[in-house]
Structure 1
Amino acid sequence: MTERTGRCLCGAVSFELAAEPLATRVCWCRDCQHLAANGSVNLLVSADALTISGTLSEYTKTADSGNVVTRQFCPACGAHLFARSSARPQFRVVRAGNLDEPSSIHPDMNIWAESAPNWACLDPTLERVEQQPVPPKPSPASDQQT
């Protein structure tokens, strides 16, 4: 496992990931489209594997899934960095574009594909899930860290 690091646009918030992502997905829900003006590539990680330095601001709303989602961003530059869902507090979503080396990951599925605009370029080699996928099971290695 390679430790991954990242930061916001201005560098006021930084983070480290101490475990491999449980999933890497391109999300086409309407909220992610508003955040990214396109689909958003997200890492699903164990909350215990994420270390954050710096101050975050938050915005909370009910998502299309019905879950209460809290999105976290840098209050200085506005870069959206993380999210967490009331339904799965053991996980965190990390926006892949904020990684120092975003090419170190590769998406494995398109989610909320039914919400993608007709011009969206969905990689046909990735698994396609029309709405919210079933959450992944943590690996045995991540179970040992808790």
Structure 2
Amino acid sequence: MQSRTAACCCGQLRVEVQGEPVAVGLCHCFACQRRTGSVFAALAAFRPPYKVFGRASEYVRTGDQGARFRFRFCPVCGTNLFHTEEGCEDRGIAVAVGAFADPDFPPPTDSVYDCRRHSWVQLPPGPTTYEKDPD
């Protein structure tokens, strides 16, 4: 089974995942825009097992539908590397696609919070779009 490693800017924090992503998605919600400093977040979901190397700081945010997400970021360089949903850690992990530094990474399959997507952002062909979060 193929493994992939995502890393922060300074390399202190890394996460190794196994196999292909379950899903690759874009999120245009305002929280993700603020969290990433970009106009959307690109995330890849992986099933366990995964391994974390290095130290992480954490930030917990409650989503629009009440779910609590625990974001992990590097305390040295500040890169927001991955997150899990509290109470659902056995379902897997969501990793920032850019942290894989792989231009051949699979494209997004879903785009959520399309109602908050910047009008000038053009999606690639293929993803299913949702006005908000479908969960």
How does the TM-score come out when normalised to structure 1?
0.82
| Residue matched to 1:50 | 50
| Residue matched to 2:12 | 12
1:98 is paired with a residue whose SS is helix
| Residue matched to 1:31 | 31
| Residue matched to 1:105 | 106
Post-superposition offset of 1:95: 0.4
How many residues end up aligned between the 2 structures? 133
Higher helix share: 1
Percent identical residues = 28
Q: CA RMSD in A?
A: 1.7
Q: Summarize the Cα distance change of 1:118–1:65 in structure 2 as closer, same or farther, 3 Å threshold.
A: farther
Structure 2 residue ranges without an equivalent (≥5): none
Asked if structure 1 preserves the Cα contact closer than 8 Å seen for 2:18 and 2:46, the reply is no
Asked if structure 2 preserves the Cα contact closer than 8 Å seen for 1:59 and 1:70, the reply is yes
2:104 is paired with a residue whose SS is helix
Post-superposition offset of 1:54: 0.3
Structure 1 residue ranges without an equivalent (≥5): 135-146
Post-superposition offset of 1:91: 2.1
Amino acid at match of 2:62: T
Mapping for residues 61-100 of structure 1, pairs under 5 Å:
61-86=61-86, 88-89=88-89, 90-100=91-101
- How far apart are the structure 1 equivalents of 2:32 and 2:62? 13
Post-superposition offset of 1:3: 1.6
